[in-house]
């Protein structure tokens, strides 16, 4: 059974920048997904942090495990809404490829360092990874992904950067919507990181069950689990509660989005681009989701131990950027040559591509005499 016309397909896709022969035995969007999985940037996600710096513990989520969880959630929702599952999977697996080491702390630090040179946007860097930085194919730089995959990866960009992106930037400048697959990928990301940060936060001891009982969506699901499994061990009780919350959010998103699509009379992909956002939660669940997000921001992301860890991470990024800016010859030869062509963007590319542990080792090599 074919998907409805408002879903992205090979028939309504805007294609690739460089035309290629039709793939055999797989779709164009399966090809995109496969190229992303085989990329060097995707492998590096294993050693890039989600909330906790990579070496803080082996059981905390990394950018790689997060991306796999987002892809699983995304595919489930796409299947129920009859959207392009392969496109959703490609977008979700690639959405964090441009993230710096040390998560948002590293991103903020690199943006500050690059402020005089155009700034740093991790969504734009993810696009840069798949458009330019990956070096695997003889016929082109990057991965030459389909327009709709690149659109979903980009999400948003500043007006000045959007003006440089051709057709991809035109949509942003015109205020048009991305495909529903791209919208869905964004919500899948939010479902995954909010709920799984609850799990990691509890595991780390930085937040407690007593604190979370004040959050409506968590409290409701925790009580349901306790009623059904009164003698369940705490660790398994937490897993079951988080699993139940994810299930509620996914089902609500499916039902509300289906209603939005029908109410707006969406028939084609062009209808999607001119309509309000179609993928979303019901008002009640959206309010609960935002309450959970606010709790995590205040109690986990602003916990003094996380703030300390983030400050160390930011210091590492700032010192690396400053050192390379002052002495370009400390960069690897490849990036020295890039600096001649692209200036400080070459330094940003080098630092953004680092894993947590590589950034720490590079800092030690530059500044720790005992390590030289």
Q: Are 124 and 98 in contact (CB under 8 A)?
A: yes
**For residues 325-351, average pLDDT:** 97
Pairwise CA distance, residues 278 & 280, whole Å? 6
- What confidence score (pLDDT) does residue 66 get? 92
Within a domain: 349: no
Per-residue pLDDT at 55 exceeds 50: no
- What confidence score (pLDDT) does residue 227 get? 96
Q: Mind listing the pLDDT tens digit for each residue in 276-289? A: 999 999 999 999 99
Within a domain: 291: yes
Within a domain: 238: no
Please write down the HEC assignment for all residues of the chain: CCCCCCCCCCCCCCCECCCCCCCCCCCHHHHHHHHHHCCHHHHHHHHCECCCCHHHCCCCCEHHHHHHHHHHHHHHHHHHHCCCHHHHHHHHHHCCCCCCCCHHHHHHHHHHHCHHHCCCCHHHHHHHHHHHHCCCCCCCCCCCCEHHHHHHHHCCCCHHHHCCCCHHHHHHHHCCCCCHHHHHHHHHHHHHHHHHHHHHHHHHCCCCHHHHCCCHHHHHHHHHHHHHCCCCCHHHHHHHHHHHHHHHHHHHHHHHHHHHHHHCCCCCHHHHHHCCCCCCCCHHHHHHHHHHHHHHHHHHHCCHHHHHHHHHHHHHHHHHHHHHHHCHHHCCHHHHHHHHHHCCHHHHHHHHCCCHHHHHHHHHHHHCHHHC
Q: Mind listing the pLDDT tens digit for each residue in 125-156? A: 999 999 999 999 999 999 999 999 999 999 88
Per-residue pLDDT at 8 exceeds 70: yes
- What confidence score (pLDDT) does residue 58 get? 47
- What confidence score (pLDDT) does residue 328 get? 96
- What confidence score (pLDDT) does residue 104 get? 87
Within a domain: 339: no
**For residues 332-343, average pLDDT:** 96
Q: Are 110 and 352 in contact (CB under 8 A)?
A: yes
Within a domain: 62: yes
Per-residue pLDDT at 5 exceeds 60: yes
Domain span at 145: 28-216+245-307
Q: Mind listing the pLDDT tens digit for each residue in 10-45? A: 999 999 999 999 999 999 999 999 999 999 999 999
pTM confidence score: 0.94
Per-residue pLDDT at 174 exceeds 70: yes
Count of CB atoms situated within 10 Å of the CB of 309: 19
- What confidence score (pLDDT) does residue 253 get? 98
**For residues 218-243, average pLDDT:** 95
Within a domain: 17: no
Within a domain: 255: yes
Domain of 89, CATH number, reads 1.10.3210.10
**222: pLDDT confidence band, cut at 50, 70 and 90?**
very high
Within a domain: 151: yes
Alpha-carbon torsion 84, 278, 166, 117, what sign? negative
Q: What is the mean pLDDT of the chain?
A: 93
Provide the number of structural domains found in the chain: 1
Per-residue pLDDT at 256 exceeds 70: yes
């Amino acid at each position: 059974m074919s998907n409805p016309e408002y879903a992205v397909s090979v028939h309504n896709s805007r294609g690739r920048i460089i035309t290629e022969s039709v793939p055999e035995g797989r779709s164009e969007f399966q090809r995109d997904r496969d190229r992303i999985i085989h990329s060097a940037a995707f492998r590096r996600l294993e050693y890039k942090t989600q909330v906790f710096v990579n070496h803080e513990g082996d059981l905390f989520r990394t950018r790689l495990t997060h991306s796999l969880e987002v892809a699983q959630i995304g595919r489930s929702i796409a299947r129920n809404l009859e959207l392009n599952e392969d496109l959703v999977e490609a977008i979700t697996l690639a959405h964090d490829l441009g993230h710096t080491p040390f998560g948002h702390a590293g991103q903020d630090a690199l943006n500050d360092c690059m402020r005089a040179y155009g700034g740093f946007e991790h969504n734009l860097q993810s696009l840069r990874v798949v458009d330019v930085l990956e070096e695997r194919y003889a016929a082109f730089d990057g991965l030459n992904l389909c327009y709709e995959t690149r659109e979903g990866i980009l999400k948003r960009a500043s007006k000045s950067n959007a003006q440089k992106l051709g057709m991809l930037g035109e949509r942003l400048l015109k205020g048009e919507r991305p495909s529903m697959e791209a919208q869905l990928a964004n919500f899948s990301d939010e479902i995954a990181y909010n709920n799984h940060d609850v799990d990691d936060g509890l595991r780390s001891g930085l937040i407690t069950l007593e604190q979370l009982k004040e959050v409506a969506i968590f409290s409701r699901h925790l009580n349901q689990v306790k009623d059904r499994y009164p003698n369940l061990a705490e660790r398994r009780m937490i897993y079951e509660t988080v699993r139940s919350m994810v299930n509620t959010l996914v089902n609500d998103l499916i039902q509300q989005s289906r209603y939005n699509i029908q109410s707006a009379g969406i028939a084609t992909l062009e209808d999607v681009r001119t309509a309000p956002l179609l993928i979303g939660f019901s008002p009640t669940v959206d309010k609960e989701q935002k309450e959970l997000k606010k709790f995590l921001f205040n109690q986990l992301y602003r916990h003094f131990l996380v703030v300390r860890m983030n400050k160390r991470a930011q210091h590492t990024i700032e010192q690396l950027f400053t050192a390379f800016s002052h002495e370009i010859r400390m960069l690897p030869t490849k990036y020295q040559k890039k600096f001649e062509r692209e200036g400080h963007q070459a330094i940003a590319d080098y630092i953004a591509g680092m894993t947590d542990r590589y950034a720490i080792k590079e800092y030690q090599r530059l500044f720790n005499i005992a390590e030289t």
